[in-house]
Amino acid sequence: MMHYHFSLGNSFNEFIKMPTFKHLSGIAKRRFFLFVHRSILSRKGTLLFWLLVIFPTLFFLIYIIVETVKAENTGFDKTLWQWMDLLLVPAALGIGVWGLNRAEKARERETTKDQLRESALQAYFDTMTELLLEHDSKKHPVNDLEINHDKEKKRKSLARSRTLSILKGLGKERKEQVIQFLYESELIKKPIFVGMKLADLANANFKGITLEGACLNGVDLSNSLLDEAKMEGAELRQANLRWSKMNKSHMSLADLSNANMENANMKGAILSDAILREAYLHNVNLRDSVLRGADFRNATLSNADLRNSNLEGADFRRAILKGAKVSVEQLNKALSFEGATMPNGEKHEEANPNLNNKTAV
């Protein structure tokens, strides 16, 4: 008996062995339906569906129209435009209705998702408020200090896990509400109650926010908006600030050690006496900024834009400034370039700058 074989994949070849579908066993039939189901839902299956169903159907309809127009004495005296009115216009209307329905369903899904996020946010606030009240309670007896310490540790761990979880699930428009709540409740200021390491604050809008003295070590603030933010004395050690916008931000005395600030835009920022040791500032825009007394030891400032910035008393020992845009007049106001790689790529060994016109680019 002849067997039919189709080259549509190994899974399909395993069960297509019979001449007709009615002769297939129950297991083979189930495999057939499973193959069809998976194929239609997969990308390859969708392409197969278009190739085997949609395109042939469209071709057949076009063929009928063309042959009808060419035929004589068929009893059909309609023109091509009349056939288009009969077939294409209803099809266009159908596609339009389908598009509107799809857009409406998308809006409904987004509305539902937004409501779920709002409910989750309110539940988070309620939980954190309870933990905060327990944290501030002074009803514990003095002789139970060890027990109280364990309870406090568990509360902090729960607060941190809840915070990291809610930030990961929220949209960028609500992340500011969480941070504002934590800051105003003094939960991210010393002594720290909620550790923020690895917190997802990417793409968030924090324009003009006040976070003075906040502890945000290790947070992900990549591609976030921090223009005109007030973050004097904030701790952002090992923070991810890649592609963030911090124009005219106030970050004097802030600790940005080991922070990744690649491609960040900090034009006009105030970083007086800020700590940027070993920070990665490749291609950062610090034009017109105030860097007076800033600590850039071992920092990478390759291709950084420092034009018109105030570098008075800044410490660039062992820093990498290769390709940085900066003038000799600015560099001469710095405290030290000992061991630094200068904008022209040369190593500077002396503690006192005393730079010449060949040093800057």
Closest of 242, 243, 236, 218 to residue 276, by C-alpha: 236
- Look at 43-52, 102-111, 252-261 and tell me which has the smallest mean pLDDT: 43-52
Same domain, 105 and 146: yes
For residue 212, the enclosing domain spans 188-361
Asked if residue 137 is part of any domain, the answer here is: yes
Give the end of a domain, one of 99, 134, 169.
169
pLDDT at 45: 52
Same domain, 113 and 223: no
Give CA–CA dist 23/153, Å, rounded: 68
DSSP H/E element including 131: helix 80-136
pLDDT of 25 higher than 60: no
Same domain, 358 and 230: yes
User: Residue 192 carries which DSSP code?
Assistant: P
With bands split at pLDDT 50, 70 and 90, how would you rate the model's confidence at 116?
Answer: confident
b/e sequence 28-41, b meaning 16+ C-beta within 10 Å: beebeeebeeebee
More confident of the two residues 187 and 17? 187
Same domain, 163 and 92: yes
Stretch 339-359: mean pLDDT, rounded?
76
Same domain, 128 and 268: no
Same domain, 129 and 255: no
Closest of 230, 175, 161, 178 to residue 205, by C-alpha: 175
**Residue 146, token pair as written in the block:** 């060890």
CA dihedral 162, 168, 174, 180 (to 10 degrees): 50
Asked if residue 204 is part of any domain, the answer here is: yes
The tally of domains found in the chain comes to 2
pLDDT at 108: 78
pLDDT of 91 higher than 70: no
Same domain, 93 and 227: no
Same domain, 324 and 291: yes
Model confidence over 227-273: pLDDT tens digits?
A: 999 999 999 999 999 999 999 999 999 999 999 999 999 999 999 99
Give CA–CA dist 99/195, Å, rounded: 46
Average pLDDT, the chain: 80
Phi and psi angles of residue 258, each rounded to the nearest 5 degrees, phi first? 60, 15
pLDDT at 153: 86
Same domain, 140 and 254: no
Q: Is 250 helix (H, G, I), strand (E, B) or coil?
A: strand
Asked if residue 323 is part of any domain, the answer here is: yes
Same domain, 324 and 202: yes
Longest dimension (CA), the chain: 108
CATH number (domain holding residue 231): 2.160.20.80
Asked if residue 274 is part of any domain, the answer here is: yes
